[in-house]
Amino acid sequence: MKKVVLGNTNIIVSRLCFGSLTMTPFQANLSIKEGAYLIKYAYDRGINFLDTAEIYDNYKYIREALKGIKREDYVIASKTYAYTAKMAEESLQQALKEIGTDYIDIFLLHEQESIHTVRGHFEAVEYFLKAKESGLIRSFGISTHRVSGALAAKEIKEIEIIHPIVNKLGIGIHDGNIHDMLNILSDLHDMGKGIYAMKPLGGGHLIGSMEEALGFVRDIPYLDSIAIGMQSTDEIDANIKFMEEGSISDELAGRLKKSRKLIVADYCIGCGKCEKRCRQGGITVIGSRAVPNENCILCGYCATVCPEFCIKVI
């Protein structure tokens, strides 16, 4: 697996990043042993970069997986919603303790919306900059679902790493389209910021056109790495093969497509926009919640209109 340097940092990562939310109780609900096996399997195949977050509650999987791997051979990115110095310290200490490590490579403020949101987190930002000076983290940044979040990284020089949504349809980008996002990311790259993208398959919605969707992000030269959620060795193998060779076998693609389903998060507000958008009759609001049915073809178009971003194909 090809490795690259993340922006102007000295952090070297594989172009494919292991998105680890997929193994948690929120998604595949793997045991710690099963999840750790997957992380180690991916590492043995050249993926040295893992993305997690405090809310994923999966540090214990990582701790188990890293046993036997030299710490400097592995790159961990985590995220927090902390906005005070105290909360930031608690978040970082929790990550260090539960993963069993002396430092975290990349610590991000989670889901930043704009420069105003980042400024509202200034105490946490200051804490992480000090943590960087003392070696507890190696770099600081933000994750965002918004073009205005990416713009914040342009304005704030201390943001070294950005973790934005990038996929061919712009699924999940709240305030613009994919072209708006890419224009900013290209500038950020030129400024020396490290960029690792999330949701190249639109949270699973683009699985039906997997090769095209992955090809789109893979060929963007200013994306250093791409985080993809993986929950089986099949998926790890397929993603590595695709990143390296640009294609996967029809048989493997078929197996992956069959294992997916559409889920609607509990926080659906029953607004009905998904039902109106779907041309297949694949989802209906019943009571105050959207419910998918057998007509759903997992195209993912309904997710592009959900104001709560609560539809996923897993």
- Cβ neighbours of residue 18 under 8 Å, at least 6 residues apart? 39, 42, 47, 49, 50, 51, 227, 228, 230, 236
Q: How far is the CB of 300 from ligand SF4 (least distance, A)?
A: 5
Residue 131 to residue 82: CA distance in whole angstroms: 14
Closest CB to ligand SF4 among 25 and 272? Answer: 272
> In terms of DSSP bridges, do strands 137-144 and 161-164 run parallel, antiparallel, or are they unpaired?
parallel
**CA quadruple 182, 109, 149, 22: dihedral positive or negative?**
positive
Q: How far is the CB of 166 from ligand SF4 (least distance, A)?
A: 20
The neighbour count for residue 63, using CB atoms within 10 Å, is 16
Q: How far is the CB of 185 from ligand SF4 (least distance, A)?
A: 27
Closest CB to ligand SF4 among 17 and 262? Answer: 262
Closest CB to ligand SF4 among 254 and 272? Answer: 272
Q: How far is the CB of 23 from ligand SF4 (least distance, A)?
A: 23
Q: In sequence order, which ranges of 134-177 are alpha helices (DSSP H)? A: 147-155
Closest CB to ligand SF4 among 29 and 280? Answer: 280
Q: How far is the CB of 247 from ligand SF4 (least distance, A)?
A: 25
Closest CB to ligand SF4 among 141 and 292? Answer: 292
Q: How far is the CB of 282 from ligand SF4 (least distance, A)?
A: 3
Closest CB to ligand SF4 among 69 and 298? Answer: 298
Residue 99 to residue 66: CA distance in whole angstroms: 9
The gap between the terminal CA atoms of the chain, to the nearest Å, is 25
Contact residues for ligand SF4, defined by CB under 6 A: 262, 264, 268-274, 277-278, 280, 282-283, 285, 290, 292, 296-302, 306, 308, 310-311
Residue 194 to residue 137: CA distance in whole angstroms: 15
Beta bridge partners of 141: 108, 161
